[in-house]
């Protein structure tokens, strides 16, 4: 018999850090001229979210890519080269990070 901890179980590919989170990629990818198997993202400021919103002119996909690029320090064009499964991991980590609930 197992006890519930009250916290949502994290997937094996997601690691919470003091500044944000790190994901392990399913498919190692070239990002910033190096092949990597992990991507880290820090928590956004209100200013960064607002700036991405204003610069995207209402384009939700562009807003997200601009914001993720800023928070990972990876160019948006490089992020577009991620396999979709790995991009979904990045999205999942972001939404867990900005959710009010404890991880």
Domain that holds residue 35: 14-98
**Separation of alpha carbons 76 and 63, rounded Å:** 10
What is the count of structural domains for the chain? 1
Q: What is the pLDDT of residues 2-44, one digit of tens each?
A: 444 445 688 999 998 889 999 999 999 999 999 999 999 999 9
Is residue 48 situated within a structural domain? yes
pLDDT value at 90 more than 60? yes
Is residue 103 situated within a structural domain? no
Q: Which residues contact 32 (CB under 8 A, 6 or more apart)?
A: 73, 74, 75, 78
Is residue 5 situated within a structural domain? no
Q: Which residues are 41's β-sheet partners?
A: 21
């Amino acid at each position: 018999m197992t006890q519930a901890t009250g916290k949502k179980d994290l997937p094996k590919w997601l690691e919470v850090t003091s500044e944000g989170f790190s994901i392990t990629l399913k498919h190692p990818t070239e990002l910033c001229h190096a092949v990597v198997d992990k991507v880290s993202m820090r928590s956004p400021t209100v200013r960064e979210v607002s700036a991405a919103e204003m610069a995207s002119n209402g384009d939700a996909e562009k807003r997200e890519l601009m914001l993720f690029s800023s928070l990972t320090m990876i160019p948006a064009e490089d992020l577009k080269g991620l396999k979709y499964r790995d991009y979904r991991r990045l999205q999942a980590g972001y939404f867990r990070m900005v959710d009010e609930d404890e991880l």
